[in-house]
Amino acid sequence: MALTKEQMAQRIARELKDGYYVNLGIGIPTLVANYVPKGMNVVFQSENGILGMGPFPYEGEEDADLINAGKQTVTLLPGSSIFDSSTSFAMIRGQHVQLTVLGAMEVTDTGDIANWKIPGKMVKGMGGAMDLVASAENIIVAMMHANKAGESKLLKHCTLPLTGVRCVKKVVTDLGAFDITPEGFRLLERAPGVTVEEIKARTEGRLVVGGEVPEMVV
């Protein structure tokens, strides 16, 4: 069984460590906030100017002046701070944020990522994605293993315009978890019931399988 989006988020949440400052992208990455282990202190950064972002507000308590990078109404947690966009990206470029989780359309076995533009379609812009991928020390991509046409999104070379080069460290898809190593995608764990052969068949980039690959516990 391939992982659900919630299970992918759960798996990524296992990469969190106490004291981490974390930036979550829109989509599956946002779900990671729901799975912070109890007792662990993780501070979420939103690039429009928040450290210590909390959950959505209760109905009736929305504040138009308090939104996240997805323009959704949010809340602040005790110890939070607010800053301008320049300071926010100083945190990101200056590598003060320990973990970035974002979605992607394509990732290569050398860690290149494409996630902002499809030629021929309306281009909406890269937002903060290029700044995030160019600087973050630890970037995890959360995405489906294949696109809607069933083609692998784990490639040798990106076919879409790049967002950043040699920057992604780990990929979690609905089929498994992978480290990006000099040899290619190293298969760390399989989704429950998904075989190594199936993953091999559905991965276009170089895949490294070292010995027994454990099934993911979710």
Partner 1 sequence: MNKIVKSADEALDGLRDGMTLMVGGFGLCGIPEKSIAALVRKGVKGLTCISNNAGVDDFGLGLLLQTRQIKKMISSYVGENAEFERQLLSGELQVDLVPQGTLAERCRAGGAGIPAFFTPAGYGTEVAEGKETREFNGKMYVLEEWLRADFALVKAWKGDRFGNLVYKRTARNFNPMMAMAGKITVAEVEQLVDPSELDPDEIHTPGIFVNRIFQGTDYEKRIEQRTTRKRN
Element (H, E) at 130: helix 129-135
Task: Order the strands of the 113-114 sheet from edge to edge.
Answer: 113-114, 106-108, 154-155
Residue with tokens 């989509």: 27
Nearer to partner 1, 125 or 193 (CB): 125
Among 20, 103, 131, 218, binds partner 1 (CB under 8 A): 131
Strands (E), 143-191: 154-155, 170-172, 176-181, 184-190
Question: Is the sign of the CA dihedral 83, 104, 55, 79 positive or negative?
Answer: negative
Give Cα separations from 188 to 6, 18, 27, 174 (angstroms). 19, 23, 23, 13
Rounded to the nearest whole angstrom, what is the least distance from the CB of residue 51 to partner 1 in the complex?
11
159 binds partner 1 (CB under 8 A): no
Shortest distance (Å) from residue 187 CB to partner 1: 26
Q: What is the spatial distance between Cα 149 and Cα 209, in angstroms, rounded to a whole number? A: 26
Provide the minimum distance between the beta carbon of 156 and partner 1 in the complex, in angstroms, as a whole number: 16
Closer Cβ to partner 1, 46 or 203, answer by number = 46
The yes-or-no answer on residue 198 being catalytic is no
**Smallest distance from the beta carbon of 133 to partner 1, in angstroms?**
8
Among the residue ranges 33-41, 88-96, 173-181, 209-217, the one whose residues contact partner 1 (CB under 8 A):
88-96
Structure tokens given for 99: 């973990």
Q: Of 17, 19, 34, 84, which one interacts with partner 1 (CB under 8 A)?
A: 84
Q: What is the smallest separation between the CB atom of 80 and partner 1, expressed in angstroms?
A: 10
Separation of alpha carbons 195 and 2, rounded Å? 10
Contact (CB, 8 A) for 155 and 115: no
Q: Which of 2, 36, 77, 165 binds partner 1 (CB under 8 A)?
A: 165
In the region spanning residues 23 to 82, those forming contacts with partner 1, defined by CB under 8 A, are 46-50, 55-68, 70-74, 76, 82
- Distance between CA 172 and CA 212 in Å, rounded? 18
Question: Closest CB to partner 1 among 128 and 176?
Answer: 128
Residues carrying an active site annotation: 47
The residues of the shown chain that bind partner 1, judged by CB under 8 A, are: 46-50, 55-68, 70-74, 76, 82-86, 88-89, 92-93, 112, 122-131, 134-135, 161-165
